[in-house]
Structure 1
């Protein structure tokens, strides 16, 4: 990194951390709860409102179904939480739903789950931030008047906080999350005390409004469909539950037990707050409408487009605490903050899942690399860009964005729980301990029940939400699936082409003398590396060595073993890089050689393989380009690239030569031969046109 960009980067994200400090970023339960569970906890700020919005289509009389819908959501929440507690114990590596589905149902199911989760993580950021802006707008009108700008700024701020590292951002997130939870429970307790003990009546700001139902008097199938649609909207309270199973590696030891405990705490808090707000909304007479300007009436007159419909939690707080009071403002601000921070669930889940997918060659390998602060920086930036795009396209409207939501969640829920059933069925025959067998049978039944329930909910969500925007999420999953399949195919083809042969060519082992010190940079032992070594030997250097940078101990150990197994007669030098940098250690080593032997020339030989299409360049690490750019400015150093052309690049070159020959001035074009008549009437072979 250049000194020009180093200073602002350090100011924004802090100083770099060495790899051996990765353990310091692990989270205790008190911080893991707000980091991983802020999404389902904060969903109580908008999930109750979504239930009432759908029920309002049948009029205020349909609100009496809201407790039953809340009960169904509670049953579903406890089912999913109990199921995922088994997952974190069985698969603590952090792969979560993706690992479970891939291991037990096959790569296609795993890729389907990954596609669903990636789409859902992007939507989590967009929905949470947009809902936070709307809640903050109940106390600060300027924010709701500039929703898109404020939402985009909030996403940028969250991105910078996460680039600083999980633990550091978790400390910042803990305070508003706990203030929000405490504020909601205080509101529920004070509301229940005023209503049940003091006998006071509490009225929400919208209690005096009437609703004009779009579908009055619904009965039979139409009513059932409406209730199912309201239930699917209320299922937004379950979003983010899977993030804990994906983030088990970020917990302190014992990781699985801490993750399972955090799951249980999250489920209990979320369902209590969700049911309490639904109950207070009914008691205070909250009115919500999908199109408030024309469907809400005051004294028989529509409220008009100037009316701003505040979220249910804000209206309940105004009724319980009083509009504009300190506790009302505190809860409004805390709600907005926790909704912003709920996006942190995605900021932890998306980059980690992206890293696992990149390791499996389904996403660009740059997503597998940790940044200076030991966070997956590339995945964080990618998530932020996609979320900002959604916020701009949908105008930061949480109601419109929620229609896209939930589909991906229940796709991953269903496939994951089905995979867990298969996992226990496979483990059961090999277990002889009766107590362990009884435990496996019990948890298999839990996962089977979870698979059936979440599968039914998925069908309901698809039927009730598809035409209202869920098709966009389905399309996004298809695009992710196709893209990741194509990337994996590309990496597989490249790996086949550059794989090292079984035996080296003995004719390439001759070392020729020279006055130059040659260094061959090595990352892996494959065909490009072997070609670069053979080329370096032909340079007749005075000394020759291979140089590798140790950024991953396991990869370096494998390289040493392969190097010794092949008996390569070039010494391999390993330089440790605790900050995972490649360019700087090479530059410093070359400069040290030049300082020790000022009259010697140093030749740095870089093996590269050349792809044939411009878009394939984005799938490969560009560290060689950065390194060459730095080495060019180092005196006494020559840089040599030894290209290894893949088949696609050779084909591209042939096509380019053909086009050049065809279009060049005076070029001889190969075409059909014409016969022309001569002056004496004879036929002769003419020139090719």
Structure 2
């Protein structure tokens, strides 16, 4: 039944040689890898206004020069990541660049930040998309968390079906969103040029504002820079592109940068000209659309596509998180299960864990976008800074042709990214301080995992292992719960191994039961030694494990091994397992950690 449901939800398994068919074109890549960056147009300008409104509506004109600063940073990042794509064509982005040029720990800081950031990408995108829906339908505002979780489950399932299939489905909403915003910006500018929007709605640029300070402007700039999250995703996901992958990835990155610049500039300008002020339950894009079209079809079309791209922007995380996890797993910093491809040739373990972690975040932050964005943005700008610095070191060390210009570009990107990171820490410390705790913990965990894998490798390697002591004999212990076919099957199996001794062990809770069983056993199997153990606390595990430890201690002195043969009956139907106490599984789980004890389960399959 489980297999049938899985096939229905995920689809038929793909063969390994079909991996090439899972590569995506530039058109689809632009949709699934740029959706995070493009969707941030819906909340990036709003974050600028949220800061400026603390001074007053007269300060809104500062959104224009702040937007120019954001575009300068965007240009530096696009040019920088284009260089990273060609320098590191196998993907990995900031993690690989930082590790190669700045050292392992810098790479782990970048990698750890991005892993967390991709989880935040899903949580922020889905939460923002839910906000867009509830802006259009205020009656749903109290159901934000439930709606957001349903969307995460949907996108997780979609990605488990494979990269190509998810890209084919998700491309349409992304391009519809771009079309909707171009129409919104075009119609809005037309109304401004034709005088249909009164200029009295906004404060003229250059108007003196009481209470404005450099601190507030820097804080607004940092908040607006959240629109640049997701720029690095393409450099992480180069292996997903069709050949020539680096060239296709670079073209996609440039297209994304151009679209992001136009859409971000247009929304910021319309919000300024319309005199839009941020409101708790209505987004800035929703207000611009309502001012431009009223509450008609176009308004709901813009809100619908905005909600869709905000939700589907989470797919950037699903595209980049598994590939980054693969690079970390190859270097043995996270579990190897992230290297395993699922039925549809995607890294399904990474997809499932990303979805689960995102749901936890949505529940923890109650799907409130504003509380998630500062932490989200810091998680992006730390890797931005490290990757640009790593490229600076690379150019200084290698000095290829034209390296000076490349060095200047990366230096500009590194400097601005570092400043933005500092601004976030200074201005929004109360919301970003968790990164100072969980990032060192993540790096410590990375090193512990790496140490474990190295220790396992050293112990398993034949050249370094201690010589194996030959086994001189075998003692078999069989836990028995009664005189049944299950026990008989296990005793017969134990005899077939021709051990030096077989010991049956019965744990009794009452003295009377103990004596009765001893009498029955003498008649049934007089040739097999029976040991009865009395349990004062009605526990099978404790007396049995103590007995096995005693036998093992004596056996080890003679280079004997102890094998515990556990009888277990298997019901005809799997659901019937819940009707039984599964004591055999408990015994096995406790004994598996005994150093010199071998555990064998002998199943007896029931027929009805």
> TM class by shorter-chain length?
0.7 to 0.9
The aligned runs of 1:222-621 (5 Å cut-off) are: 223-288=213-278, 309-323=281-295, 325-428=296-399, 437-467=400-430, 469-501=431-463
Partner of 1:132: 129
Q: 1:171 to 1:143 in 2, by over 3 A?
A: farther
Alignment match, 1:193: 190
Counterpart-to-counterpart distance in 1, 2:372 and 2:381: 17
- Using the alignment, how far apart are the partners of 2:178 and 2:569 within structure 1? 52
Distance verdict in 2 for CA 1:119–1:203, change over 3 Å: farther
Inter-partner Cα distance in structure 2 for 1:161 and 1:475: 33
Residues 239-262 of structure 1 deviation map (CA, whole Å, 9 limit, x = unaligned): 001110000010111111111111
Between the aligned partners of 1:203 and 1:148, the Cα distance in structure 2 is 39
In the alignment, which of 116, 135, 152 is matched to residue 155 of structure 1?
A: 152
Q: 1:504 to 1:483 in 2, by over 3 A?
A: closer
TM-fit CA distance, 1:342:
0.4
**Distance in 2 between residues matched to 1:230 and 1:78, nearest whole Å:** 19
Q: Displacement, 1:426?
A: 2.6
Residues 458, 464 of structure 2: 8 Å contact kept: no
Partner of 1:403, secondary structure, is helix
CA distance change for structure 1 residues 504 and 284 in 2, over 3 Å: closer, same or farther?
Answer: closer
Q: Greater shift after overlay, 152-161 or 452-461?
A: 452-461
CA contact (8 A) 2:219 2:427 kept: yes
The verdict on how the C-alpha distance between 1:649 and 1:57 changes in structure 2, with shifts beyond 3 A counting, is same
CA distance in 1, matches of 2:466, 2:147: 61
How much has 1:507 moved relative to structure 2? Answer: 11
Match of 1:217 among 210, 229, 241: 210
Query: Could you tell me which residue of structure 1 aligns to residue 546 of structure 2?
Result: none
Q: Distance in 1 between matches of 2:339 and 2:101?
A: 24
SS of 2:243 mapped into structure 1: coil
Tell me the residue number matched to 2:45: 48
In 2, Cα distance between equivalents of 1:368 and 1:136 = 37
Which residue matches 1:612? none
Cα distance, 1:203 vs structure 2: 10
The whole-number CA distance in structure 2 between the counterparts of 1:377 and 1:385 is 12
Normalising by the residue count of structure 1, what TM-score does the alignment of the two structures yield? 0.66
Paired with 1:457 and 1:13, the residues of 2 have a C-alpha distance of 41
Deviates more, 1:478-487 or 1:150-159: 478-487
Report the counterpart of residue 488 of structure 2 in structure 1.
Answer: none
Residue 466 of structure 1 deviates from its aligned partner by: 1.4
Query: Secondary structure at 1:189's aligned position in 2?
Result: helix
- Report the Cα distance in structure 2 between the residues aligned to 1:347 and 1:235, rounded to whole angstroms: 22
Once the two structures are TM-superposed, the CA of residue 450 in structure 1 deviates from its matched residue by 1.6
1:652–1:54 Cα change, 3 Å: farther
Q: Which moved more, 1:63-72 or 1:447-456?
A: 447-456
Deviation at 1:36, TM superposition (A): 0.4
Unpaired runs of 5+ residues, structure 2, are 203-208, 471-496, 499-567, 573-591, 598-608
Q: Counterparts in 2 of 1:50-199, with a 5 A limit?
A: 50-196=47-193, 198-199=194-195
- State whether residues 33 and 262 of structure 1, in contact with CA within 8 Å, keep that contact through their aligned partners in structure 2: yes
Q: Deviations over 1:349-397 (max 9, x none)?
A: 1111112211211111111101000111111111111111111111111
Distance 1:631 1:470, change over 3 A: same
How far, CA to CA, are the matches of 2:132 and 2:163 in structure 1? 26
- In structure 2, how many angstroms separate the alpha carbons of the residues matched to 1:414 and 1:77? 13
Shift of 1:503: 10
Instruction: Choose the corresponding residue for 2:34, options 37, 42, 52.
Output: 37
Unaligned 5+ runs, structure 1: 209-215, 293-308, 429-436, 509-538, 541-628, 634-647, 654-689
Q: Check 1:188–1:16 CA distance in 2 against 1; reply closer, same or farther (3 A cut).
A: same
- Equivalence for 2:555: none
Distance in 2 between residues matched to 1:337 and 1:272, nearest whole Å? 20
With over 3 angstroms needed to count, the CA separation of the structure-2 counterparts of 1:334 and 1:412, relative to structure 1, is: same
SS at 1:249's partner residue?
A: helix
8 A contact 2:78–2:254 mirrored in 1: yes
3-state DSSP class of the match of 1:310? coil
CA distance, structure 2, for counterparts of residue 151 and residue 67 of structure 1: 32
**Structure 2 SS opposite 1:138:** helix
1:313-335 per-residue CA deviation (whole Å, 9 max, x = no partner) reads 11101111112x11111110000
Whether contact under 8 Å (1:203, 1:285) holds in the other structure is no
Deviations 1:471-521 (A, max 9, x none): 12333322321221211111111111111127998999xxxxxxxxxxxxx
CA distance in 1, matches of 2:467, 2:113: 48
Quote the offset at 1:403 in angstroms.
2.5
SS across alignment from 1:57: coil
1:172-206 per-residue CA deviation (whole Å, 9 max, x = no partner) reads 1110100100110111111111110x2112699xx
CA distance in 2, matches of 1:341, 1:171: 13
User: What's the offset of the Cα at 1:444?
Assistant: 2.3
Quote the Cα distance in structure 1 between the aligned partners of 2:199 and 2:409: 42
Matched length: 479
Q: CA deviation at 1:104?
A: 1.1
> Which deviates further from its counterpart, 417-426 or 170-179?
417-426
Local SS of the residue matching 1:241? coil
State whether residues 119 and 473 of structure 1, in contact with CA within 8 Å, keep that contact through their aligned partners in structure 2.
no
Q: 2 CA distance for matches of 1:260 and 1:233?
A: 27
The whole-number CA distance in structure 1 between the counterparts of 2:467 and 2:115 is 46
Q: Which moved more, 1:419-428 or 1:391-400?
A: 419-428
Contact 2:126 2:314 in 1 (8 A): yes
Shifted more, 351-360 versus 8-17: the winner is 351-360
Is the Cα–Cα contact under 8 Å of residues 50 and 234 in structure 1 kept in the other structure? yes
Q: Superposition RMSD on alpha carbons, in Å? A: 2.8
Task: Go from structure 1 to structure 2 and tell me whether the alpha carbon gap of 1:462 and 1:502 turns closer, same or farther (over 3 Å shift).
Answer: closer
The whole-number CA distance in structure 2 between the counterparts of 1:279 and 1:652 is 73
